[in-house]
Chains A and B, each alone.
Chain A
Amino acid sequence: MNSFFFFSIIFWIAAWIINIFIAQSTLARTKLVLPPILFGVSLLLVWEASISAFDVSPVILPAPSLVFIKLISSVSILWVDFVQTFVKGALSGYIFGCSAAFGVALLVDRFKFLERGLLPIGTFMAALPIIGTAPILVRWFGFGWESKSAVVTVMVFFPMLINTIQGLQMSDKIHRDLMQTYNATSFQTLVKLRLAAAMPFIFNGLKICSTLALIGAIVAEFFGSPIKGIGFRISTEVGRFALDMVWAEITIAAITGSLFYGGIVLLEKVLTFWHPSQRGRSE
């Protein structure tokens, strides 16, 4: 045991006590920001200190500082992997899959018969391990980013489809009646009432799909990839026991995932400011 380890434990306890105080205080803004930061920092400190205190081999778990150094020193590789996996694979598939699902939902919306059939099938498909199609799609579309994009497209399609279909059913009857008294065409009703009412559901779908997209692109790379990409790097560096590089890639993936998700949340706040879930207290 060394003093650094004790310091980290004491820091953890102190941070926790501060958090208890903050929790009981009435500082609305600090309440949301400070506790998670304190918790995160103490977690990193204890991690760092435990590694040196218990002599954990970097092959099993590298210290955060090591990961950080690796991250800084290999920015160029990480950037190439980021572009390959996120921009080319995940993002293109996400856009393609979500817009396809949105289009199909609008199409299906015209025919009640199709809608009644597609909703149960879509719900069923969304619960299936679609990630399993990755090896098939990699065989069809080759090792490049196209196959990753295809996997992501298939993965995001069904969650997006059922959310959009459900969202389009959300407008109140009384509102639709009002649109009819205005002599609105069904297209006008769709654009001005039903799509707006569907927004919270559509964004819910977009949020779920944002995490799925990154997972799909990374896992598809496990089945074959050119010599770049986050998933490729993780699987090969694990084989070489270069865990600091693996953690650096995971850090990048985590930051990308969180920013992607955060971006959609931000867009939702801007576009659906009128919805009850966005107004008032956040609880």
Chain B
Amino acid sequence: MNNAFLPVVTISTFIVLIWYSFSIVLNSSWALDKAERNDQKLSFSELVHDTWSQKKPKLPTPHQVGYEMWKTIFDKKVTSKRSLVYHGWITLSATLAGFMLGTVLGILLALAIVHDKATNLSVMPWIITSQTIPILALAPMIIVVLSSIGFTGLLPKAVISMYLSFFPIVVGMVKGLRSPDLLEIDQMKTWSASQFQILIKLRLPKSIPFLFTSLKLGMAASLVGAIVGELPSGAIAGLGARMLSGSYYGQTIQIWSALFTAAILAASLVGLISIIQAFVFKRMMIVQ
């Protein structure tokens, strides 16, 4: 970890520098146009200043995005419609609901697949195929159909999140539940353990490392699902809706700050799972 610190910082700095220079390049045409209309000549430093402080820039600078995020996260009341905390919470609740549903569904499916040969043979190929389909294409339809039979708000988005997050869980858990080797299963059988006991005392503990890897993937997928679920059907709240309204009204800074909030949300959710993982591994004495 430590020997990655310096390279990561170097590259991050480099990316920020590139970002600032791209801001100049992309925003300059608007600045130059404006100057020409006012019969002004812009010196280079004036040009830089203008491109870094436009109201609706093509590419806002990091400090503009940071300032907007600071304003909308800390300075606004949490209940305000312009607070990113409010929108973030809407998206987060759908993400978590979908993630829970997806995890439960995924684990149940994995249990069925591991214990029943017929399920394994007939359902598993379809689960894999289901992921080669662009599921997000279904998002608008799920939203509209569910709202036409009376479900609005959280549930439709959670369904999309569930659909995206159950797959990594199924695949990981099937691998995990099958990870005990023949020797260990034989040992359990010599103790005359039932299938259920083998599951509880051998298979489930052995699948924990696989579960955590899957949970992280599922969480990231779940957030994407919730955001995309907010795009169609004119949702008015949530990070996805912020992006959409930003794109309608040309509020680029708003899009970027919603995007960064989503990124921070994703990073903290995955980080949270990592912390729980470290704790559980310590308690179970799993060495990575």
Contacts and interface: CB of A to CB of B under 8 A. Distances in A.
Interface of A: 16, 19-20, 22-24, 31-32, 35-36, 38-40, 59-61, 113-121, 124, 127-129, 131-133, 135-136, 138-140, 210-211, 214-215, 218-219, 222-224, 230-231, 234-235, 238-239, 241, 243, 246, 249-250, 253-254, 257-258, 260-262
A220 B182 CA distance: 48
B123 A132 contact: no
Nearest to B265: A129
A139 B247 contact: yes
A233 to B, nearest CB: 10
Contact of A131 (B26, B228, B232): B228
A235 B232 contact: yes
A111 to B, nearest CB: 9
B171 interface: no
Contacts of B220: 127-129
B140 A253 contact: no
A61 B144 CA distance: 11
Q: Which of B8, B125, B137, B243 has the most CB of A within 10 A?
A: B137
A253 B129 contact: no
B270 A127 contact: yes
A211 B131 contact: yes
A60 B117 CA distance: 34
Interface string B222-256: 01100110011100000110011011001010011
Contact of B126 (A20, A39, A222, A223): A39
Given A116-B4, A132-B259, A258-B133, A19 B247 contact: no
Nearest to B264: A128
A241 B147 CA distance: 12
B3 A135 contact: no
A129 B134 contact: no
A60 B148 contact: yes
Contact of B250 (A124, A139, A260): A139
B45 interface: no
A155 to B, nearest CB: 10
A121 B117 contact: no
B262 A129 contact: yes
Nearest to A212: B134
Contact of A258 (B118, B132, B135, B216): B132
A162 to B, nearest CB: 13
Give the dominant DSSP class at A's interface: helix
Nearest to B269: A127
Contacts of B80: none
Contacts of B243: 132, 135
B192 to A, nearest CB: 24
A121 B134 contact: no
Contacts of A261: 132
Contacts of A257: 132-134
B40 interface: no
A120 B122 contact: no
Interface in B37-93: 58
Contacts of A121: 8, 11-12
7 contacts: A23-B121, A115-B7, A116-B4, A128-B263, A132-B258, A211-B132, A258-B132
A20 B148 contact: no
Contacts of A115: 7
Contacts of B137: 215, 218-219, 230-231, 234, 249-250, 253
A230 B138 CA distance: 11
A59 to B, nearest CB: 7
A250 B149 contact: no
Nearest to A243: B141
Contacts of B262: 128-129, 132
B3 A36 contact: no
A218 B137 CA distance: 6
A20 B136 contact: no
Contact of A238 (B10, B144, B224): B144
B115 to A, nearest CB: 12
A31 B270 CA distance: 38
Contact of A40 (B58, B126, B267): B126
B177 interface: no
A133 B252 CA distance: 11
Nearest to A207: B132
A135 B258 CA distance: 11
Given A19-B118, A39-B123, A118-B11, A238 B140 contact: yes
Contacts of A140: 26, 58
A235 B224 contact: no
Given A116-B3, A257-B132, A258-B132, A222 B141 contact: no
Nearest to A259: B132
A253 B266 contact: no
A36 to B, nearest CB: 4
B145 interface: yes
